Amino acid sequence: MSSSRIYILGIGNIGRLFAHALANTPNPPPITLLLHRPSLLLDWHLAGRTISITTHGVTNSNGAYDVEEPTIHEDGIIENLIVATKTLHTAKALEAVKHRLNAESTVLFTQNGMGTTEEVTRTIFPEEAGRPSYLAAITAHGVYSEGPFRSVFAGQAHVSVGRVSGSSSTSRYLLDQIVAAKLLNATEFESRELRLLQLEKLVVNAMVNPLTVVYNCRNGELFKRSDITSVMRDLLAEASQVVSSLPELRTREDGGNDVAERFSKENLEAKVLDVAEKTAANTSSMLQDFRVGRETEVGYINGYIVKRGKELGINVGNNERIVEMVQKRKLAVDG
Ligand code: KPL
């Protein structure tokens, strides 16, 4: 039945984990992997046409997927789409399938950082008529790649999922499938709470990720040094002020007073230190990208704080500098 098919665009670690979790339920939906680069088809054959996920040393390979190259003449409507591409490539990857999405479609975004859904609306679906409804997922699981279509599910945590505020609500089908996929350990939140959780993650990533690049170290090594802690506090003071001032969070009767408390410098610092400690052995995703010369997501993380801060007239000089540093050091790696 076409309405129950789930398409996945972006087959990196998060895409593989979602595919694997959905395929390993008692009543799995049909799943199609959209291979957005031609080289992926060869990789798929080399991987034995399976996705392999290793958990606690045990590898489970499942081949219960159809594959399609989205750029090649397919034009059937996609009703359920999970977009698991990197932030930087999301709008471009969606461009190739936009003719297959309509107001009945549901698109789940799994990207880090903020600003992707706004970018997709601006560049791909500027008209409200015909725009799919949006869901977002925040993934706290630790997954790393062992090669194309092979990942290790290293740190089991949870997924927070829900509708994106302002998005029209059509089907619940995709949400229900995500929550039913036990391996994801997903909880559904209402849109405002989901947004607050996204912003908390944004601030944590805005502190940990670029500092691991600048100081070239694992997460756990960062805040053992008082000089790095002091740089983090300067970045955090700006982030706290920006998030606490966001007008879209002040729409409740109490004026959004919960936001100022939740995003106080003290609460945010406690969160940052907690995540850095719990993920002490991790090489942050930004440092991994940086080391292999890939463009990083700093523009969607600290860059988002800079953009919103400037709109609100808040000084975001420290975040602006760290965006430049990470991007410049990237140039140094390239050159
Ligand atoms: O989300 C992460 C990332 O690396 O992007 C953290 C939580 C910092 C773990 O490494």
Over residues 311-317, the mean pLDDT reads 98
Indicate whether 330 pLDDT > 70.
no
* Cα(16)–Cα(22) distance, integer angstroms: 10
Residue 2, pLDDT > 60, answer: no
Q: How far is the CA of 253 from the centre of ligand 1 (A)?
A: 34
Bridge partner residues of 133 (DSSP): 106
Average pLDDT, integer, range 295-321: 97
- Residue 73: what pLDDT? 63
Could you tell me the pLDDT band of residue 271, with boundaries at 50, 70 and 90? very high
Q: Which atom of ligand 1 is nearest to the CA of 276?
A: 8
Long-range contacts of 176-179 (CB under 8 A, 24+ apart): 177/6, 177/22, 177/25, 177/29, 177/80, 178/18, 178/22, 178/108, 178/137
pLDDT digits (tens, 9 = 90+) for 29-79: 999 999 988 889 999 999 999 999 999 999 999 999 999 986 656 678 999
Length of the chain equals 335
Show the tokens assigned to 33. Answer: 């992997």
Question: For a pocket test of ligand 1, which of 88, 209, 218, 286 has the largest count of ligand atoms closer than 8 A to its C-beta?
Answer: 209
Q: Give the strand pairing for 58-62 and 51-55.
A: antiparallel
Atom in ligand 1 nearest the alpha carbon of residue 209? 8
Query: Which long-range contacts does 290-294 make (Cβ < 8 Å, 24+ apart)?
Result: 290/213, 290/326, 290/329, 290/330, 290/333, 291/333, 293/330, 293/333, 293/334
Average pLDDT, stretch 137-151? 91
Do 81 and 7 contact (CB within 8 A), yes or no?
yes
Residue 168: per-residue pLDDT: 72
> For residue 334, what pLDDT band results from cuts at 50, 70 and 90?
very low
**CB burial class (10 A; 0-12, 13-18, 19+) of residue 295?**
middle
What tokens were used for 270?
């406690």
Ligand 1 mean position to 255 CA, how many Å? 31
pTM comes to 0.91
Assign 333 a pLDDT band (cuts: 50, 70, 90).
very low
Q: Is the pLDDT of residue 335 over 50?
A: no
Residue 331 has pLDDT above 80, yes or no: no
Distance 222 CA to ligand 1 centre (A): 13
CB-based contacts of 138, cutoff 8 Å, min separation 6: 159, 160, 161, 194, 197, 198, 201
Pairwise CA distance, residues 54 & 297, whole Å: 26
Per-residue pLDDT tens digits for 199-255: 999 999 999 999 999 999 999 999 999 999 999 999 999 999 999 999 988 876 665
Residue nearest to atom 4 of ligand 1 (CA): 284
pLDDT digits (tens, 9 = 90+) for 94-109: 999 999 999 999 999 9
Residue 328 has a pLDDT of: 83
CA 213 – ligand 1 centroid, Å: 12
- Ligand 1 site residues (CB inside 6 A) read 112, 205, 208-209, 219, 275, 279, 282, 284-285
Report d(CA 300, CA 214) in Å as an integer. Answer: 17
pLDDT in tens, 148-197: 999 999 888 899 999 998 777 777 999 999 999 999 999 999 999 999 99
